[in-house]
Amino acid sequence: MLGLLLLLVPAIFLDPVNGYKNGKVTESCRSMKPGHGHPSQSLPSPYTVTVDKSKFSTGDQIKVTLSGSSAFKGFLIQARDTADLSGDAVGSFTLVDHYVSQLLNCGEIKGSAVSHTSKSGKLKVEVIWNVPSNAPPAVQFFATVLQHYDTYWVKMPGPIISMGNSTPIPTQTTSTVEPTTESPVLRKPFSSKGCGSTKSCLRDPIGCDPETDPKCYFLSFTSEEYSVLFELSGPTEGYVSFALSHDKWMGNDDVYLCARTDEYVNINPGYVTGRTHPTLDSQDTLTNMAWRLSDGVIQCMFRRKIRVPADQDRFNLDRSYYIFLADGKAEHGMVHKHHHQPLISSEKKYITSSPENLNGSRSPFIIKVHGALMLVAWMTAVSIGVIVARFLKPLWPVSTLFGQKIWFQVHRILMSSTVLLTCVAFILPFVYRGGWSKHAGAHPFLGCTVMALVVLQLVMAIFRPHPNTPRRLIFNWMHWGTGTISRIIAVAAMFLGMDLPALNLPDPWDTLLLSGFVTWHVLTELLLELHNLFIIRKAKNVKDDEVEIIDLALGETEGHMIKKIVLTVYICGNLAFLTAFLNAINCI
């Protein structure tokens, strides 16, 4: 059985959070600037925009080509009136290659811009610009080109074309370089000194000090008269971030990220809509920014005004919010999905209220209950119930409880408890997620299989045939087979569930402990099986190949003391494993 369990446990996969790789960037129509929170490149662009005509008439079609010496992942192409380069796009486009480009509606004109369809590398893109009936005397083409998430050129000027024999209106180059704010480097790490007295702190592990513990996730905030000072720290090579949220669900949150790019840390506010990549905003709302990189730990600090009326994505800090603390991988300035479930404060906190030490958890309470109920059902209730029914019938040969033999009543009570606990636990993740989870791997599929087998076992038990009927043997084998398969799949589901982000028990402790429990149970069943064989041989003196798997009620008066001792020791060990898991769930 242990071999089957190992075969059923697949690997765990991490999915990155996608940015704007699908090219749906209509919010950038006017500025043509990606919402990546990084400055545009100051170096000359390796990309150019060319056209096949310098003059046009109404109804003409102009081929526009964007090309370069190195591959690019994203782009946005528009045509602007040279008399109003900051205005809306003019004219419309026709696609040449639908696989690499798509039309966008900028302003009131359909198809007035072209962008990428995926982040795959491209060396050249061709599109057709259609001259409108109300075309201005002169038009200039512009392109924003993204080489990497943090490497892009904004609104690169292209050729100017004019109508008929008119002379193009002189224009200035509009490709500007955004200033880069060079934040100073912190001289020493943050400290937990003052937590609860002069500043509020959220930490994981509880009570850790980032000054001495390199594995400490730390967020502190100190309220002043008109602003709040934030300190953020975490052991990661990519990014560390926190978010202010109205609830315990990711989405519509005010986010602040400290992301590493080479040997520098970018500090940016952002906003998250749903479970998507955050849209990074300008650093204009942040002051006194500083950062530090040391031994795999990212630290950053900044100050923010309590109220920022001009920016609706920045929440007012004189209100209460749940606080999320997360970290993950960053590549070329693009942040990916966090490595594990964010640390979420247990209660809402007024950011400007009196300092306190905040408590938090990386696992939602409802998921903790799900895990605890499944462990009680499939580690303890099922395991003891199976051992009692299979090996301990001779202990109570004639004794009854409520009209049924004691072993049967114990077995029925434990299995009924398993059905009840499994049904309740099965519903909880769907309540938490509001439906099916697409990020839980094989675990939910195994869970649904177990639930189906539990229902099948219940139906078979209700309609089981009388012991003296011919069909009873068929029932016995089906009951045993279905139960054994469900137990194997349930243990495999537990192996996978322990490392899902919503629970994520400590590694490798959780795997070793569950492996220890499986070994403990297998050895117990093996010991009792060997003991039964010994009793049967002694009582009947039959050959090994004549021993039946179902009828083991022989030698009723022999070996009872051994079975009682084994059962007692097994139950104590079982409860020890269960207690260790329940305590771990309570502590995360």
| 362-406 residue pLDDT tens | 888 899 999 999 999 999 999 999 999 988 887 777 787 887 888
pLDDT above 50: residue 178: no
Among 424, 209, 173, which Cα is nearest to 299's? 209
> pLDDT band for position 166 (50/70/90)?
low
Position 333 scores a pLDDT of: 66
User: H-helix or E-strand containing 348?
Assistant: none
Kindly tell me if the per-residue pLDDT of 555 is higher than 80.
Answer: no
For residue 386, which amino acid is it?
V
* 298-326 burial: b if 16+ Cβ within 10 Å, else e: bbbbbbbbbebeebebbbebeeebbbbbb
Give mean pLDDT, residues 320-345: 86
3-class secondary-structure state, position 239: strand
Q: What is the pLDDT of residue 249?
A: 85
Are 541 and 533 in contact by the 8 Å Cβ rule? The answer is no
Q: What is the mean pLDDT of residues 226-246?
A: 95
pLDDT of residue 151: 85
Q: What is the pLDDT of residues 87-97, one digit of tens each?
A: 899 999 999 99
Query: Nearest CA to 130 among 61, 73, 54?
Result: 61
* Residue pointed to by tokens 């114990």: 410
252: alpha, beta or left? (left if phi > 0; alpha if psi -120 to 50): left
CA gap 192, 199 in Å, rounded: 9
pLDDT for residue 2 is more than 80 = no
Q: Is the pLDDT of residue 11 over 60?
A: no
Name the band, by pLDDT with cuts 50, 70 and 90, for residue 281. confident
- Please state the rounded mean pLDDT for residues 227-256: 93
Q: How confident is the model at residue 253 (pLDDT cuts 50, 70, 90)?
A: very high
Give CA angle at 286 (283, 290), nearest 5°. Answer: 95
Q: What confidence score (pLDDT) does residue 12 get?
A: 32
The top-scoring range by mean pLDDT among 146-155, 311-320, 349-358 is 349-358
Mean pLDDT value across residues 264-276: 86
Cα angle 212-498-201, degrees, rounded to a multiple of 5: 30
Q: Region 485-513: what's the mean pLDDT?
A: 90
Average pLDDT over residues 504-512: 87
Report, as an integer, the average pLDDT of 246-258. Answer: 91
**Other CB atoms within 10 Å distance of the CB of residue 518:** 20
Find where tokens 């975490």 sit. 234
Q: What is the pLDDT of residues 200-231, one digit of tens each?
A: 999 999 999 999 999 999 999 999 989 999 99
State how beta strands 357-358 and 200-204 pair: parallel
- Three-state SS string over 19-42 comes to CCCCCCCHHHCCCCCCCCCCCCCC
Q: Which helix (H) or strand (E) holds 214?
A: none
Phi, psi dihedrals of residue 411, rounded to the nearest 5°: -60, -45
Least confident of 57-66, 329-338, 402-411, 429-438: 329-338
Instruction: Please tell me the least confidently modeled range out of 150-159, 226-235, 529-538, 578-587.
Output: 529-538
3-state secondary structure of 48: strand
Checking if the pLDDT of 558 tops 70, the result is no
Mean pLDDT of the 125-145 span: 94
